[in-house]
Structure 1
């Protein structure tokens, strides 16, 4: 055998071996609306998974948030969607499951690490099937300028009385706007207002489930009292708050002109970059010292499996990893303010994130009251609550009238409330 023939055979053998190795690699594609997370997936999450699972490659393929639902539905209908589907909570993902586009995942090994509340955003109404593995939630509370409060001798409040006493003291001193929030965009009045303080009155999941069953009404005192609390906020929001947008409020706080920001934990990474003062956070105040406390620990993002995907076993492997302690720790630290929904003990490095998540140890978690089942009809309870909350803060609608309007709208289409 000539040297040339030997070399040719050796090259052919090497190519064949290389082809076999390449054939063993499975590539999973993730569909997502979180295009701001691209580098986190590419630099941290995917390398960690691939290192532990040789033979499975992962590609993160995001779409602009506003276009995601339409693009994803088109891909699923055409059979061209990726293997893994990033799931928004509740009805949008439930619809995909009901159409047969998402597989049930409750039997995956990794699902044992999630509570019923954690799974609520991605389960059927009766809880019999879960179709996405929970990834993260956001928690509501109040972020404050720690330097400003120390300067004024104000302690972070724990009760309503302390809360309004603190606001009065900040307002009287005059250096800072007591709270940075506007009503122009409406949604934050409900999300960081009504849904922030409300669970302490309707007792979290107890009240939310009673509303779904028709055992409580939005005109009950537990649902009206949060509006009464919001009505008191008007005096502390600064001049022109009615025209103040959400970005205006963020700037007001990060520029050091406001002392307190009614917040969602998603603000943490933004505020860390923009604020040059020390920050702290306090949970929604309870009515009286010693009362049981509740927090809005709202399910936000999960990962499901394309039921018609070509790589189902590899996709299951990835989803089990999403349910692991390794993923929970990596994700929570890469995105401070987006908290793992798993039962793993996740160590976080960001002190503000640590403060928010510590409330899980002392308070009961719930999700936003309007998100599951109750906003499927017209008028949409979630959107109506935005408007009602903004009106109550502005003083253009009384708490009682707002609650009456919401109840009437819900009862017009939702049978258990008729």
Structure 2
């Protein structure tokens, strides 16, 4: 028989337990990164919940191609989650302007990010931020260390050294110098023009000048990268014109090519496919001693649904996303997707560590066409794709490509009229 004291103690315990349970908040996270589900379930969520016992996380991704449509439908219906994973630039800006993403400019964790890091999720005047920057991808070149050793070439630092290495690999004949095709078009621009371009237009200095109308695509800084691309064709192997993106990935990971112009997003996949040691180098500068610039491109952010009923808990989570703890977990769980916070992060993957180390040597910028300049018709991003392909194939001169792109931009973009 239970004593009154025991019954009272049990009742008190039940009431306390009920109070804790009632305070528990579950935040639902919308995302397109369905391939990251295991990482969230096994690493990110346990780490956050251990440090924040009153808040639970529910990661509910959609298929990448369907995410925008699914998310917009949920937001319109009032059924979207508390936390919204943000694509960079215009897609998320449209959500903010429609009142779906909250203004988080004053969030404490936002102080950990540079203007470049925040650029993907800010208003055009940079006055308002609506998503916490989560990760970027860094452009550069991955190379086969065995091939370099066999042929006897060193990692190039300058353009002259770069083309000397390509010539030596081509003369050796055992490896295709560079694995890249032009069939899918975007590679020529993303892994070509916007990879090497920042060294010519001086990163953010040139990009912002182009946005302001102070520089044009016919200026030397913007035509010169096409001059380099015009030389690439002879090093890409037979049939590169019909070579797809997956073809290029296979050619490199099978050990048939020495260099792969790319970005850090390939690291996780390549680690499981290549049976040789890989290294990486940043885009070679024009002259020894020049400042190097890298495309450290904003890729993924995370914000708060303006209609959430759990705003306080959501802010706790978003501040944590801006912390060194999250940066370390995320960067090591997804090698090649780098935290954008200013906090130093140590990476376990040597290839990922090589890429991120360039932030200490080079100035960071983002892809030149992604902010504002692709809102009109013709779309500058897509035009840069076909111009890069045409130049590599020798179908258009660098000067003609620059003029065509500038004419297109002038036709709709007010600062260039």
The TM tier, using the shorter chain, reads: over 0.9
List aligned pairs for 1:269-308, cutoff 5 A.
Answer: 269-308=268-307
1:30 aligned partner: 29
2:333 aligned partner: 334
C-alpha distance in 1 between matches for 2:292 and 2:13: 65
Residue 100 (structure 1) shift: 0.8
Q: Cα deviations across residues 310-366 of structure 1 (Å, max 9, x unaligned)? A: 100000000000010000111011111111110101111111111111111111000
The answer as to 2:130 corresponding to 1:131 is yes
2:390 aligned partner: 391
List aligned pairs for 1:372-391, cutoff 5 A.
Answer: 372-391=371-390
C-alpha distance in 1 between matches for 2:226 and 2:35: 34
C-alpha distance in 1 between matches for 2:318 and 2:6: 45
1:119 aligned partner: 118
Q: Cα deviations across residues 255-313 of structure 1 (Å, max 9, x unaligned)? A: 00000000110011111110000000011010010111100000010110001001000
2:148 aligned partner: 149
The answer as to 2:230 corresponding to 1:210 is no
1:264 aligned partner: 263
Residue 11 (structure 1) shift: 7.4
TM-score (normalised: structure 2)? 0.97
Residue 394 (structure 1) shift: 1.1
1:80 aligned partner: 79
The answer as to 2:364 corresponding to 1:365 is yes
Distance 1:325 1:3, change over 3 A: closer
The answer for unaligned runs of 5 or more in structure 2 is none
TM-score (normalised: structure 1)? 0.97
C-alpha distance in 2 between matches for 1:4 and 1:293: 78
SS at match of 1:242: helix
SS at match of 2:218: coil
The answer as to 2:358 corresponding to 1:355 is no
C-alpha distance in 2 between matches for 1:254 and 1:302: 30
SS at match of 2:279: strand
Q: Cα deviations across residues 13-49 of structure 1 (Å, max 9, x unaligned)? A: 6655443332111000100000010000010001000
Q: Count how many residue pairs are aligned between Structure 1 and Structure 2.
A: 417
2:61 aligned partner: 62
SS at match of 2:117: helix
RMSD of aligned Cα (Å): 1.5
Residue 6 (structure 1) shift: 10
1:414 aligned partner: 413
SS at match of 2:355: helix
